[in-house]
Chains A and B, each alone.
Chain A
Amino acid sequence: MTKARRAATAADLARQQREISVSEFFAKNRHLLGFDNPSKALLTTVKEGVDNALDACEEAGILPDVRVEIEELAEGRFRVAVQDNGPGIVRAQVPRIFGRLLYGSKFHRLRQSRGQQGIGISAAGMHGLLTTGRPIAVTTRTGKRSPAHHFEIVIDTQRNEPKVQRDETVDWEVPHGTRVEIELAGNWRGGQHSVDSYVRQIALANPHAQITYLGPGKQPAEAVVHARVAGELPPATAEIRPHPHGVELGVLMQMFRDTAARNLRGCLTGDFSRVSPRVADEICAAAKVATSRRPRDVGRDEAERILAAIQKTRIMAPPTDCIAPIGESLVERALRAEVKTDFVSATTRRPAVYRGNPFLVEVGLAYGGELPAEEPVTLYRFANRVPLQYQQGACAITRAVASTDWRAYGLQHPKGALPIGPMLLLVHVASVWVPFTSESKEAVAHYPEIVKELRLALQECGRKVSGHIRRRRRESEEAKKRGYIEQYIPHVALALQEILGFDDRERERTAKSLALVLERTRRI
C-alpha cells in the first residue's frame, strides 16, 4: 500500500527556489578550486597568494620581491603569509577583493595574467575561515605618504559579502605593498606536490622576481632566497580583441548582435583583431554577404557563410604584444641558476592561435649534471608562469612530451610515458586565455593547435640536446678506447716477448711503438 502523494504546485516549488550564493556553492565544492585535501589546500593557499602578489607588482611596473612564510601553529594547523612590494590596495577595495568571490579585474578581458577568474585568494581565505574560524588578515600600504592599513575579514557565504572584523591604521616599515595572512588546517608534505617544489618552480618561471621562502620550523636566517636573474620586468601585455580564426558560430552571432558597429565591415574590423578593411571585404565577398549589412540583421545562414569565409581567408597572426614569453635567454639563465647541469637550451615559439585566442609555447631543457640519470625526466609545467603541480597525466603538456620521439634524440623512452634520463623540462604555455581542463586550473586542455606547438618546441629542444648527448657519448667512447689501448697493448708486447724470447727493453720498445701506431691511426 502506498501513501497517496501530494503533488507539489508551482507555488510550492517557487517557495523552495532561491538564489544560491556563489560563496555557498564554492564552500560546498571547494575541491573545484584546489582545496580537496589538507596538503593541497596548503599549497593552493600559497599559490593564490603568490600569483596575486606577482600580478600586482607587474601591473604596477615594480620588480617583484615576494616573501612566503609558513608557520606550523599546531599539528595540522598552519599560518601562510605572502608579502609583496606591490602598489598596495586602496582601502575601500580591500574587503571586496578578499571577502568576495568572483570579484576582480581579470575576468572581463582577454589578457595574459596569472589569475583568471578572481576566485583564488578569497577562496583561500574562505577555506581558512571554514577550517579554523580565523579571518583573513591583510596589511596594505599604497605609498610612503599613506598609512598602512590592517584588516581582518570574513566572508558571509550566504550573501557573498565581506564582513570586516577589524580595520585599523598600523605602523609598517614597508613603503608599499601588501601582506596577506591566512590560517588554515593543512598538511605538510614533500615531493612533487610540495610547497618547496612550487617555490622552486615559480622562481624558475619568473626570473624577474626575487622569491624569499621561509618554510615551517625555519629560523628567519634560514630563508631560501631565489635571487632575481633578470633586471627587467616582462613587457607589459596588452588586452586584445578576439582573432577571427577559431571563433565559433555561436560566438560570432553573439558578437554581431552586440556590436556597436553599423555595418559588417565596421564590425569585422572593429571587434576583431588583425582584420583590415581589405580583409573584411575579402571575407564578405567570399561569403557573398554585402559589407554594408547591418550586423544585427545577419542571419544564421549568412553567419555560417561568413565563418566559412573566415577560415579560408589568410589573416595575420594575432598581435604578439598580448603575450609575454619568459624568453629563451632568460629561461636558460633561470635553469642555470636553479640546477647544476652541463647543458641548457630553450625554445620560444612564435604565437599561434587556438579558438581565436593567441597563445605561445616555450620549452626550457636542462641535461646532465646532478640530475638523476635512471629516472623519468623531471617535467615542470607552467601556464602563464604559474606552476601546474597536479593532474600531470591529464595535461596536454604531458601528452606532448610523451608523444615526442625522444629516442631519436638519444634518450631512453618507454612508449607512452615520459622519457628517461638526466633531464629537466620546463614547458610554459602563455595565453590570453589558457584553456584548463577544470576550474582548479591544474591541466591544460588538449587543443590540437596547442599540442602541435608544444611538440614543435619540444622537438626543437630535443634536436639541440641530441647533439650534446651524442658529443658526450663520443667523448666517453673516446676515453674508453684510449683506456682500452693502454690496457691491452702491454699484453700484445708481452705475448710477443714470450713467443720470440726478446729482452724487456725490446718489449717496452714494441709496446711504445704500437701505442704510437694506434694513436696515429685512431682518428682516421
Chain B
Amino acid sequence: MARRRSKKRRAAAQHPTSGRRAKATDAQTLARIDHTAERVHETIRKGRRPDLALPVRALSNVSYDAARGWLEIGRQRKVRTLSVNTVKNFAQTLRMMALSKELIRNNDFATKREAYYISKNWDSAKFDEQIESDTVMDDIEALFSVDGVAREQLRFYPEEHGGSVSGPLVVIDRDATGREARIDCTAFGSGAYSVPSSVEELRFETSAAFVLLIETGGMFQRLQSHRFWERANCILVEMGGVPTRAVRRFVRRLADERGLPVYAFVDCDPYGIANIYRTLKVGSGSAAHVNRFFCVPTARFLGVTPQDVVDYQLPTHALKDVDVKRARDALRNDPFFQRHKPWREAIEQLIGMGVRAEQQALAKWGLNYVIDQYLPRKLEQPERFLP
C-alpha cells in the first residue's frame, strides 16, 4: 500500500526542470527515499545483493554545458554493491536516509554536525568523524540529484550560512513557527541581512537594477556603509571567499525570478578568478551533481581584471608558485575557461604579468575612489565585463 501511494505522489509532482522552482518538493524527496529503500528491500528478499549507483563526483566526470551555463555531471556511475566490504557504508547510508525521512516528516532539519552526533546512537554504525557522515550525505545527494533533490531538501544544513546582503530588497521569510517576516535589507544600519542556510522558501520584492557580489568583507563594509546600493540602485552581497551553496542559490533565485543582472567584484588573482568566480558562475567539480541549482550562469566579471591592474596602476604582489599552478591548471583542465577566449587571454595576461592585485588596492587612490570613480566607470560599460 505504501508503494502505491508514493507512486501517485511522484506522478502528481511537477517535473523539476523549469527555472522558477528547480528543486524537489518534500513529497518528491520522500518518494525518492522510499523508492530506494524498496528497491534494496526487494532485492534482498529475492536473495540477491542490492546495489546503489552513485554518479562519480570528480572533475573527470564533468563537462561544461555552454547552453545552460554550468558544469554538468557526466554519465559515469560507481555501482556500490552490498558486500562484506561495503556493508558498513551501506548500513550508514540507509540509516542516514531514514533520518532524513524523519526530519522531513517532522518539518525539522539537522546541521551536518548535528546529524553526525545523532549517528552516535547507532551503535557500531556510528560515524567516528564528521567527514564520514558528510561524505555519506553527499553520496545520498548525488544519488537523488537526478530528481532534483539536494542536501537541503534532505534537511541537512551546513554549519556556515551565507554572506551578508544589503540594498533595496525585501525578503519574505517564515521562521520555524510559521510566522511570516518581511525583511527590509536597507534597514540594517551599519549591519546587514544574513542569508539563511535554506533559501528555497524565500520570496523577494525588489526595485534594484542589478546584484553586485563582493569577495571581501572589508570592501562590502565600505560600499554598504557609504550606501553605494542607493547610489547605484543595486543589491550588495558579500561572498567572503568562495560563496556558500546558500549564497549561490540566493543570488540564482534573484537572477532567475527578478531578472537581475549579476556582477562579481573580486581580487585579481587566480583564486578570485578560478575558484570564487568560476564556482559562482558554473559551479564546482566536486558538487557537479547539484551545480544546476547552485550556480549563477548569468553572472559576469566586473573586476578586478588584469587589464585594470595596468589601467589603474594598482599596487601588486608577486604571484606565488601555487598561484601560477592554479592559473595554468585552469587553462589546461577547466572546461569553463577553455570555452571562453576572453578568459584565456586574461589569465595568460595575468601569468605574463606575474603579479596579483587585491580589490582593496584601489585605496591607493583614496578610500572612496572605488565608490566615486572605479565602480561608476566600470558600470558604464557592463558589456565589457568578462564572461
Residues in A lying within 8 Å of B, measured CB to CB: 481, 484-485, 487-489, 491-492, 494-496, 498-501, 510, 513-514, 516-518, 521-522
Number of interface residues of B (CB under 8 A): 31
Question: Which residue among A487, A516, A517 has the maximum number of chain B CB atoms within 10 Å of its CB?
Answer: A517
Q: B337 an interface residue at 8 Å Cβ cutoff?
A: no
Q: Which residues does chain B contribute within 8 Å of A489, judged by CB atoms?
A: 87, 91
Contacts A488-B124, A518-B82, A521-B83 known; A510 to B95 CB distance under 8 Å?
A: no
Q: Is the CB of A495 within 8 A of B2?
A: no
Q: Which residues does chain A contribute within 8 Å of B45, judged by CB atoms?
A: 510, 513
Q: Which residues does chain B contribute within 8 Å of A496, judged by CB atoms?
A: 37, 40-41, 94
Q: Is the CB of B84 within 8 A of A518?
A: yes
5 closest cross-chain pairs (CB), A and B:
A495-B94, A491-B91, A498-B98, A499-B37, A491-B125
Q: Which residues does chain A contribute within 8 Å of B37, judged by CB atoms?
A: 495-496, 499-500
| Distance (whole angstroms) from the CB of A306 to the closest CB of chain B | 69
- 13 A-B interface contacts by CB (under 8 A): A481-B84, A481-B85, A487-B88, A488-B124, A491-B91, A491-B92, A491-B123, A492-B87, A495-B91, A514-B44, A517-B82, A518-B84, A518-B87
Q: B372 an interface residue at 8 Å Cβ cutoff?
A: no
Residue from B47, B82, B87, B95 in contact with A495 in the complex, judged by beta carbons closer than 8 Å: B95
Question: Which residue among B91, B95, B102, B123 has the maximum number of chain A CB atoms within 10 Å of its CB?
Answer: B91
Residue from A492, A494, A500, A501 in contact with B90 in the complex, judged by beta carbons closer than 8 Å: A492
Q: Which residues does chain B contribute within 8 Å of A491, judged by CB atoms?
A: 91-92, 94-95, 122-125
| Distance (whole angstroms) from the CB of A329 to the closest CB of chain B | 41
Scan B110-125; emit 1 where CB is below 8 A from any A CB, else 0: 0000000000001111
Residue ID in chain A nearest B47 by CB atoms = A517
Q: Which of B58-112 contact A (CB under 8 A)?
A: 82-85, 87-88, 90-92, 94-95, 97-98, 101-102
| Distance (whole angstroms) from the CB of A484 to the closest CB of chain B | 6
Q: B230 an interface residue at 8 Å Cβ cutoff?
A: no
Q: Which secondary structure characterizes the binding site on chain A?
A: helix
**Alpha-carbon separation in the docked complex, A510 to B37 (Å):** 12
Q: Which secondary structure characterizes the binding site on chain B?
A: helix
| Distance (whole angstroms) from the CB of A229 to the closest CB of chain B | 45
**Alpha-carbon separation in the docked complex, A495 to B97 (Å):** 8
Contacts A510-B41, A510-B44, A521-B49 known; A499 to B94 CB distance under 8 Å?
A: yes
Known: A488-B125, A510-B41. 18 other contacts (CB 8 A): A481-B85, A484-B84, A485-B84, A491-B91, A491-B125, A492-B40, A492-B82, A492-B94, A494-B95, A495-B91, A495-B98, A496-B40, A499-B33, A499-B34, A499-B98, A500-B37, A500-B38, A518-B82
Contacts A481-B84, A496-B40, A517-B44 known; A501 to B2 CB distance under 8 Å?
A: yes
Q: Which residues does chain B contribute within 8 Å of A498, judged by CB atoms?
A: 95, 98, 101-102
| Distance (whole angstroms) from the CB of A507 to the closest CB of chain B | 10
Q: Is the CB of A500 within 8 A of B49?
A: no
Residue ID in chain B nearest A499 by CB atoms = B37
Scan B140-170; emit 1 where CB is below 8 A from any A CB, else 0: 0000000000000000000000000000000
| Distance (whole angstroms) from the CB of A512 to the closest CB of chain B | 10
Q: B179 an interface residue at 8 Å Cβ cutoff?
A: no
Scan B21-64; emit 1 where CB is below 8 A from any A CB, else 0: 00000000000011001101100110111000000000000000
**Alpha-carbon separation in the docked complex, A500 to B98 (Å):** 9
Q: Which residues does chain B contribute within 8 Å of A501, judged by CB atoms?
A: 2
Residue ID in chain A nearest B100 by CB atoms = A499
Scan B345-386; emit 1 where CB is below 8 A from any A CB, else 0: 000000000000000000000000000000000000000000
Residue ID in chain A nearest B126 by CB atoms = A491
| Distance (whole angstroms) from the CB of A430 to the closest CB of chain B | 50
Q: Which residues does chain A contribute within 8 Å of B125, judged by CB atoms?
A: 488, 491
Q: Is the CB of B40 within 8 A of A485?
A: no
